[in-house]
Structure 1
Amino acid sequence: MALGPLLAERDQQHHVGGQLVRQVERYYLARVDAVDPAAATQPDQIRERRWWTTAELHNTTKTVYPLGLADLLTGLAHGAPVRPVVLTG
């Protein structure tokens, strides 16, 4: 798998085990054939996995993180952003 361009970033602070931590996430474009949930670094935190179309992401009533993911994917129709999009939530 080749990693594509950096699309977005998200910077969050939250508590883990009573300690305030800063979490920085970077989202890259990647094309894959399959995803193996057994290879996840924290499989106990995975509640569900599935492939979503952009339309499904726009129309779901579920909370999907990062917030703004559907809009980011819709924007890819015009190519990768010149600078990474800053996501919140």
Structure 2
Amino acid sequence: MRHRRGARVLLLDDEGRLLLARGHDTDQPERSWWFTVGGGIEPGESDRDAAVREVLEETGLRLDPADLQGPVWTRSAIFDFYRERCRQDEVFYLARITGTQAAVPLTREGWTEIEHDVVDEMRWWTLPELRQVTIEVFPASLPDLLEPLLDGWDGQTRHLGEATE
């Protein structure tokens, strides 16, 4: 099984909306799901630097590592993707964009070829909207996990456990 480490970002705008991507696997184009911004940590790269890089590549938004709070969560997930069984150990950071930064349009300029193949859209979600989503959302129970963070992070990193997706 392929193993990698990942850094993900709970990116909130000044209205408290969360940015998620919707994607699918090429082997199962009929199945899609929503997930947080982020991806693999490169060799020699810190978790924070990977999170900032992934936000820039996937959205065009520039963050400073100091903009990140956390990690607020950790988890391990086993999933099939791109015809491969993977285990990813993830850290999740919280970041808020405000003012002019929140007005910057999202871009796909930094997307990899695989991301162009499997990422269908990006969208900002309010918590009530997110609770109404009918397809899978990762991590599981994201609205309930996110709600306590909307007013600020308490400084504790919570482990979400292991998931098979």
For the aligned pair, the TM-score class normalised by the smaller chain equals: 0.7 to 0.9
Runs of 4+ in 1 over 4 A off after TM superposition: 16-19
- For the pair 1:22 / 2:87, whether they are aligned, the reply is yes
CA distance in 2, matches of 1:36, 1:84: 31
Is 2:111 the partner of 1:40? yes
The share of aligned pairs that are identical, in percent, is: 30
Gaps (5+ residues) in structure 2? 1-62
**C-alpha distance in 1 between matches for 2:91 and 2:135:** 22
SS at match of 1:38: coil
Q: Deviations over 1:51-73 (max 9, x none)?
A: 00011111222222221211121
C-alpha root-mean-square deviation of aligned residues, in Å?
Answer: 2.4
How many residue pairs get aligned? The number is 89
- The structure where strand makes up a greater share of residues is 2
Which whole-Å CA distance do the structure 2 matches of 1:86 and 1:47 have between them? 26
**1:58 aligned partner:** 131
CA distance in structure 1 between the aligned counterparts of 2:82 and 2:121, rounded to whole angstroms:
23
Q: How many angstroms does 1:40 deviate by?
A: 3.1
d(CA) in 1 for partners of 2:145 and 2:138?
Answer: 12
Q: Distance in 1 between matches of 2:130 and 2:137?
A: 8
Listed as ranges, the gaps of 5+ residues in structure 1 are none
Correspondence for 2:157 among 76, 80, 83: 83
TM-score if structure 2 supplies the norm length? 0.45
Paired with 2:90 and 2:128, the residues of 1 have a C-alpha distance of 24
TM-score of the two chains, using structure 1 as the length reference: 0.73
